[in-house]
Amino acid sequence: MSAESDLSQTRSGRAHRTRKSRMPASEGLPAMRAADSQASNLRREIDGLGLDLLQRILLLTDGTLTPLLEMYAGEEIEAVKLCQELRAERGRGRVPPGRRILVRTALLRGRTSLRNLLHAESTVFLDRLDRRISRGLLETNAPIGRLLRGARTETFREVLGCGREPAGPRAEYFLVPECSPMIYRTSRVWSAGALIMAITERFPETQFRGAPPSCA
């Protein structure tokens, strides 16, 4: 899809929202009910995992996880990049606006303790972000959440699903057996009506249980 098509869709979306705002409030009820149903299904999924309170909060929150992790760990959180690749959509040589895609795998860990807390795999649409955020993702170890807050970017996280799976090759980062379970959630992150990121976050099932390190 071209940048012109994106712009056309944006204008069309604005027009649609304008028309919708003139409709009776009752016509928005199906969408509200669908959202409520999705939220209920997500809560049922999480209830079935048998998690502690903080683990549930980490899965349910619609914001970034960095502030919660820093409160839990009692220290600043940094991102350790395991793999980072800048791609062009459809493999075009010259990347037009809105087409740079950053595919990144990283660990979120305590800056002082060097304790790994979270594993994250993300696909980020760089050109839909403030340049400060894009530059920070490419050039620094700042977590995505801190960069978004620093640029005062308002976001909404849509949690698509969560569950439990074997740690596999990620086990080495958390010093657990490969067969041990990890909890994951997959989300899409939106800002100003545009999809800016898709992300899957994982942590060992034994992580975030009991008293946090800062209280131990």
What is the Cα–Cα distance from 106 to 104, expressed in whole angstroms? 6
Residue-level pLDDT at 5 = 44
What is the Cα–Cα distance from 129 to 43, expressed in whole angstroms? 30
> Residue 212 in 3-state DSSP?
coil
How confident is the model over 116-137, as pLDDT tens digits? 999 999 999 998 999 999 999 9
In the chain, pLDDT over 70 holds for what percent of residues?
75
What is the Cα–Cα distance from 73 to 116, expressed in whole angstroms? 10
Residue-level pLDDT at 119 = 97
Mean pLDDT over all residues of the chain? 81
How confident is the model over 42-62, as pLDDT tens digits? 777 777 778 888 999 899 888
How confident is the model over 151-167, as pLDDT tens digits? 888 888 999 989 999 99
What is the Cα–Cα distance from 81 to 72, expressed in whole angstroms? 22
Of the spans 20-29, 35-44, 156-165, 204-213, which averages the highest pLDDT? 156-165
Report the predicted TM-score, pTM, of the whole model to 2 decimal places: 0.75
Q: Which helix (H) or strand (E) holds 201?
A: strand 194-204
In the chain, pLDDT over 90 holds for what percent of residues?
52
